[in-house]
Structure 1
Amino acid sequence: MTPLFEPFTLRDVTIPNRVWMPPMCQYSAAPEGPEAGVPTDWHFAHYAARATGGTGLIVVEATAVSPEGRITPYDLGIWNDRQVEAFRRITRFLAEQGTVPAIQLAHAGRKASTERPWKGGAPVGPEAHGWDSVAPSALAFDERHPVPAELTAGQIEDLVEQFAVAARRALAAGFEIAEIHGAHGYLINEFLSPHSNHRTDAYGGSYENRTRFALDVVDAVRAVWPDDKPLFFRVSATDWLHEGGWTADDTVRFAGDLRAHGVDLLDVSTGGNASGVRIPTGPGYQVPFAARVRDEAGLPVAAVGLITEAEQAEKILANGEADAVLLGRELLRNPSWARHAARELGGEVRVPDQYHRSV
């Protein structure tokens, strides 16, 4: 048994291997009407292919807790029962393949209401199914984005409840793990960072105040998410700013807080909250941030970021830098990456009977 293909158990959920798929938006749902935010045949085929390819855990893409929480009008949502029913088809199939289905609950904040990336990603208005965005502070993400409306304390409380209601629906939809999206410059990340949070009330200023909303969301979700099922949190470990932003030290401290509030694993990414920054990318460039959290906060972590080779992934786990690896673009390129890696490393992965000739 190689580390990459050892099972991993959190609470009462056992994930068959450490090859995981991170949330990657497909921007392929209807933008309005009764089918808005509802998974389509594209989503089913997309996730089913990675499950039959041996992926141990699939985290379904950022799924909005409200219509206004979508990144684009074409994002998935989980604010109504029609969406829940459509998700059941996906979670049922994934579970039949031995893959653990997870979902990322999200709100885009000031980066909401934009066009799809292949259409340029610019903010859109009502004429293109758009809406007005909200944020901790009335600060635009960049010169292209409009200034968002600053959330009131009452609206913040409503948002916490929206995450809880979405978690209940995720459970009804058959998901085994819920992940709260606190990264990449979206709403929760905007509260965490002093770069985007200039509030002077109980939700801004000090570290304790800036993390309040995130921990309120964690508490609300954990209260409705069963004790036997894990809860993940995705974080941007740094804004990549020289000063005035969220830092790796903040992340280590925050990881301890998350652990105390019932989070079982930190999904460690970086960036996305400040425009125009230079990020020194390269193979495994975000792994050291995950390793710090695992070593200093004692919280299990998953590492992501230009992890492409089986030997590279195996080394990350063998060195104790992470408990699992998340492969994004590589799984887009090769849905059967886990099966190929198992063959290369001498590990074992489940193969559907219909594909037995490929072993």
Structure 2
Amino acid sequence: MLYTPIQFRNIELKNRWVMSPMCMYSCENGLANDFHFVHYGSRAQGGTGLIMVEATGVEPKGRITNHCMGIWNDEQAQELQRIVDFVHAHSESKIGIQLAHAGRKGSTWNNKQISVEEGWETIAPSSIPYHPAERIPHALSTDEVKEQILNFKKAAGRAVKAGFDIIEIHAAHGYLIHQFLSPLSNIRTDEYGGSFENRIRFLIEIVDAVNEELNENTALFVRISGTEYAENGWDLESSVTLAKILKEHAVDLVDVSSGGNIHGAKISVFDGYQVPFSSQVKNEASVKTGAVGLITTAEQAEEILQNGEADLIFVAREILRNPYLAVQGSFEMKENCFFPHQYTRAKISS
């Protein structure tokens, strides 16, 4: 199954390998540069079915750091289009972008909050900092919440114009959307807080707004944290319920990660530790899912797919170590995978 195509709307991925979105902290003014061109292009040359561009801020305050990527203006989108065009012209890979807002976890460097003078005033659904030592974030007014929804919509429009095949909304890892989802970080009393239905409203309205910018030639994924590992917090049952609703709102795949919203949460990390979350969401909500979390080999990935625990395999650290993970896996499994014709002399015959 790992080297079997899969379709989302009119987008066909040639295999189930996905380069997981990973921040590179290498932009100036949110602009992609030559590093990103090589970074993403090399994974496409390695046969990866889908390349996901890192968390990309929908406004300047949406970044995690001053050096994170942005798509709040046309110049940024044009630089990203250069990468998209290369991937489409010189590989069989599809390419997506993760639209994000860091919320209260923004204005940082090396995982520490920087000053307002160096960074910016952070925002959140409620006046609750991620770490007690950090400054209190600005609680968004109802009108400001709606402005953020519009920011996601505009960013999606730019991404579509740049040629991206897939848009992923980042609703995981304790960033702004996740902050709205969790009852531990969202204590609002308006239409965006309180009940489960109110806490998911921000995400659902973003999904609907983004879908207005899409058509059958651009698919929509959402990344969630399956659990935040905290009592009375966002949990797997909530994720399953949310996934069912996302499916009703034309989301094509739920990318299931975990954690990130509660400082000091205890997480037991081991190979494939998040796969059970993907499996439960997939099978209980009847949605396509992506599995992520210390998946390092083709054999491991194939087993996850064969067991019906996910539809796509998102790989992070291992694909940083080895841009040719997908094609090398195809050699081992005697499967077909894109390999640049310029490199044919190095191809291992099956």
Question: Are 2:94 and 1:104 equivalent residues in the alignment?
Answer: no
Look up the SS of the partner of 1:349 in the other structure.
coil
Trace 1:1-359 onto structure 2 (pairs within 5 A).
Answer: 3-30=1-28, 36-96=29-89, 97-115=91-109, 120-128=110-118, 130-241=119-230, 243-359=231-347
Q: CA deviation digits over 1:294-346, x for unaligned, max 9?
A: 11111100100000011111100011110010110000000000011111111
CA distance in 1, matches of 2:331, 2:57: 37
Letter in 2 for 1:174: G
Equivalent pair of 2:105/2:122 in contact (CA under 8 Å):
yes
Q: CA deviation digits over 1:222-279, x for unaligned, max 9?
A: 11111342100000010111x2200000000000000001100000000000010110
Equivalent pair of 1:122/1:144 in contact (CA under 8 Å):
no
How many residues are paired up? 346
CA distance in 1, matches of 2:217, 2:75: 26
TM value normalised by structure 1: 0.95
Gaps of 5+ in 1: 31-35
Look up the SS of the partner of 2:336 in the other structure.
coil
Shift of residue 143 of structure 1? 2.7
Equivalent pair of 1:338/1:349 in contact (CA under 8 Å):
yes
Q: CA deviation digits over 1:151-191, x for unaligned, max 9?
A: 00000000000000000000111101100000000000000
CA distance in 1, matches of 2:283, 2:341: 40
Look up the SS of the partner of 1:267 in the other structure.
strand
Equivalent pair of 1:50/1:335 in contact (CA under 8 Å):
yes
Letter in 1 for 2:45: T
TM value normalised by structure 2: 0.97
CA distance in 2, matches of 1:124, 1:347: 48
CA distance in 2, matches of 1:145, 1:335: 37
Look up the SS of the partner of 2:114 in the other structure.
coil
CA distance in 2, matches of 1:168, 1:312: 36
Equivalent pair of 2:160/2:218 in contact (CA under 8 Å):
no
Letter in 2 for 1:64: G
Letter in 2 for 1:93: F
Shift of residue 127 of structure 1? 4.0
Gaps of 5+ in 2: none
